[in-house]
């Protein structure tokens, strides 16, 4: 008979396990009797469990760092590094209390509430849709597309082959320490890659742009929910915000395309000179003067 594989994270210890058992007990009590006293006990148990988890993860990380510093060879270094970069965040979602549903404790129940809150579009107000602005945006987009088609100079075209310098520039901007996407690849793998991997990335990006299709793996994202700072409690779905963790290959491709588009738009002067926000190498030094002048003009 095969031994059952543990699904607990490597930092899980006795104190965390005891805090989890106590939390499960408080949850059962709250299910049976939804009264203020049981809710208060549940909140206390949640806080203790989160504190124990955070302490255990910090101790575990410090232990691994010490192991890296005392490793005898590169194999031991990389083995410890892989353990250190595995998912160990403490951003768990507390039991959700929604107005229309009973308290949600299981992950499946939480997913249903979060799905209804963030992805069914019930929070959108259709009466605020600006049809005129949408038409203007579409017309401007068509005008830019027609302008690009009429260009004949090579330096202004957007579809030339991706270079090694472009790939290296995109990799340089990757942030170390970020969580991986659905493919499980950390940015560190690409940041410290050699010439062979960079050339392979360049080939894949060129094939993607040539055929106009992204691999399905690059388009797949993991949805994570982060706690909003400053909330008094985290039992409401509105106390969280969703983020998409995309693959690093998708980020590299997006950065290459973004750099080309930015250079094209700036070079062709498609943006008004007065616009200084959301542009590279610009400072909003004129904006305060413009606001001050307009204010004085109106009060005169």
Q: Assess whether pLDDT exceeds 70 at residue 298.
A: no
What's phi and psi for 42, nearest 5 deg? -65, -45
What's phi and psi for 245, nearest 5 deg? -95, 100
What pLDDT was estimated at residue 188? 82
Given 3-state DSSP classes, what are the helix, strand and coil percentages for the chain, each rounded to the nearest 5?
60, 5, 40
Q: In which region does residue 230 sit, left (phi positive, over 0), alpha (psi from -120 to 50) or beta (all else)?
A: left
pLDDT in tens, 162-194: 999 999 999 999 987 788 888 888 888 888 878
The mean per-residue pLDDT over the stretch 277-291 comes to 62
What pLDDT was estimated at residue 83? 54
164 against 82, higher pLDDT: 164
pLDDT in tens, 99-126: 666 777 777 888 888 888 887 766 666 6
What pLDDT was estimated at residue 299? 66
What is the pLDDT confidence band of residue 1, given thresholds at 50, 70 and 90? very low
Closest residue by Cα to residue 146 from 274, 275, 272, 270 = 270
The mean per-residue pLDDT over the stretch 133-151 comes to 78
* The model's pTM: 0.57
What pLDDT was estimated at residue 278? 67
Per-domain boundaries in the chain? 8-87, 91-121+134-274
């Amino acid at each position: 008979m095969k031994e059952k594989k543990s699904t607990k994270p490597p930092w899980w210890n006795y104190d965390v396990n005891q805090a989890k058992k106590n939390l499960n007990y408080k949850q059962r009590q709250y299910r049976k009797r939804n009264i203020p006293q049981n809710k208060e006990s549940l909140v206390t148990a949640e806080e203790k469990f989160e504190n124990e988890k955070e302490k255990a993860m910090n101790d575990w990380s410090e232990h691994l760092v010490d192991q890296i510093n005392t490793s005898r060879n590169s194999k031991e270094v990389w083995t410890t590094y892989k353990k250190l970069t595995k998912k160990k965040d403490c951003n768990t979602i507390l039991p959700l209390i929604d107005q229309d549903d009973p308290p949600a404790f299981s992950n499946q129940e939480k997913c249903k509430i979060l799905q209804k809150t963030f992805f069914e579009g019930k929070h959108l107000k259709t009466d605020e849709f600006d049809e005129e602005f949408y038409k203007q945006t579409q017309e401007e987009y068509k005008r830019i597309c027609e302008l690009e088609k009429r260009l004949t100079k090579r330096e202004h075209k957007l579809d030339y082959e991706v270079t090694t310098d472009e790939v290296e520039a995109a990799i340089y901007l990757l942030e170390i320490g970020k969580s991986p996407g659905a493919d499980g690849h950390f940015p560190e793998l690409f940041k410290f890659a050699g010439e062979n991997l960079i050339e392979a990335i360049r080939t894949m990006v060129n094939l993607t742009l040539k055929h106009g299709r992204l691999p399905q793996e690059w388009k797949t994202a993991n949805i994570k929910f982060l706690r909003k700072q400053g909330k008094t409690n985290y039992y409401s779905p509105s106390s969280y915000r969703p983020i998409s963790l995309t693959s690093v290959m998708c980020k590299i491709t997006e950065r290459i395309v973004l750099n080309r588009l930015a250079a094209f738009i700036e070079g062709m002067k498609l943006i008004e000179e007065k616009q200084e926000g959301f542009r590279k190498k610009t400072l909003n030094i004129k904006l305060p003067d413009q606001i001050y002048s307009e204010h004085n003009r109106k009060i005169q």
